[in-house]
Amino acid sequence: MPLPFLSPSDSVEASRSYVLVTGASMGIGEAFARAFARMGRNLVLVARSAALLQALGEELRRKHGIDVHVCVEDLSEPESPGRIYAFCASRQVEVELLVNCAGVSCAGDFDHLPLQRLHEIVMVNMVALANLTRLFACDMVQRKRGGVINVASLGGIQAVPGLGLYSATKSFVITLSEALHIELKEKGVAVVALCPGFIDTGFFSHSGHNAAALRLPVYGIDLVIKAALRGLKQNRMRVFPTALDKLLVFSQRMVTRQTAIRLAGFFAAVKRSH
């Protein structure tokens, strides 16, 4: 399967070929943007934080001589995926690789979750991701070339008490990506579900989750990016970045579903309301 965006030296019509990264303003999304910039890939950066995206875009243009478009959007708004697609179309941007990285969570018991936060989590983690995948995958299928990295989570493999809605949205991402991996493979498009464990970003403070309480190691971002690119190159369906992630997934076969879920809650150590 042709995945030309993974090689810096190929001769795709590089001027029109872009990698679109959502959640590019910080954390894992920013690291994806930096990695593709180093490979000489043009970028479309999407998130809400305009100043952060502009600064990143300027830096990457200057350092790597690539073209970078900044598209400031709130993915919790139902029309935002359509606007992002129109933004790209109006600039003759061909999205060859879509990285759906934007994601939000809210730590705590489900009965304490504010309704507005519930909507935001569902819209960003599931609706926008599915909608963007559909919009851009249609063009990739026509070109018989392209890829999608959907950032899920180890927390999507089983339920996580204290992170119930978040883990449910990540299960959705994994299930959708698995189906699309099979459906789109024969049409020339690679789809990967990236399932990291705990990664050192601002994610925990943004979601009110005390990172100091976690009962599993917190890894650096670089290994996630490397594993994702390797997984895409090998056209893997799911990518678990560390040996510990793989061990945790495998060990679920040895215990009951209830035990796996209780253990996930223990490792995540979310402060519960009683």
Ligand X SMILES: NC(=O)c1ccc[n+]([C@@H]2O[C@H](COP(=O)([O-])OP(=O)(O)OC[C@H]3O[C@@H](n4cnc5c(N)ncnc54)[C@H](OP(=O)(O)O)[C@@H]3O)[C@@H](O)[C@H]2O)c1
The reply to whether 75 sits near ligand X by the rule CB under 6 A is yes
CA-CA distance, 123 to 165, in Å (whole number)? 12
How many residues in total does the chain contain?
A: 274
Q: Is position 166 annotated as part of the catalytic site?
A: yes
User: In terms of CB distance, is 1 or 216 closer to ligand X?
Assistant: 216
Tell me: does residue 157 bind ligand X (CB under 6 A). Answer: no
Residues 6+ apart with CB under 8 A from 242: 197, 219, 223, 227
With 0-12 / 13-18 / 19 or more C-beta atoms within 10 angstroms meaning exposed / middle / buried, residue 163 is: buried
Looking at beta carbons only, is 30 or 94 nearer to ligand X? 30
- Closer by beta carbon to ligand X, 14 or else 72: 72
Between CA 226 and CA 204 the distance in angstroms is 22
Residues 155, 105 contacting (CB under 8 angstroms): no
What part of residues 208-227 is at the interface with ligand X (CB under 6 A)? none
CB atoms within 10 A of CB 94: 19
- Token pair in block for residue 221: 């971002």
Catalytic option among 18, 85, 166, 219:
166
Question: Measured from the CB of residue 128, what is the shortest distance to ligand X in angstroms?
Answer: 7
* Residue among 196, 231, 241, 265 that touches ligand X (CB under 6 A): 196
Residue type, 103: G
In the list 74, 113, 185, 252, the residue contacting ligand X (rule: CB under 6 A) is 74
Task: Identify which of residues 145 and 199 has a Cβ nearer to ligand X in the complex.
Answer: 199
Q: Which residue has the tokens 């061909």?
A: 94
What part of residues 95-134 is at the interface with ligand X (CB under 6 A)? 101-104, 124
Nearest residue (CB) to ligand X, 56 versus 180? 56
Nearest distance from residue 20's CB to ligand X, in Å?
13
Find the binder of ligand X among 187, 206, 238, 262 (CB under 6 A): 206
CB of 77 to ligand X, least distance (A): 8
Sheet (strand 94-100) strand order: 68-72, 42-47, 17-22, 94-100, 146-151, 189-194, 238-239
Active-site residues, by number, are: 166
Residues that bind ligand X (CB under 6 A): 23, 25-29, 47-49, 73-76, 101-104, 124, 151, 153, 196, 198-199, 201-203, 206
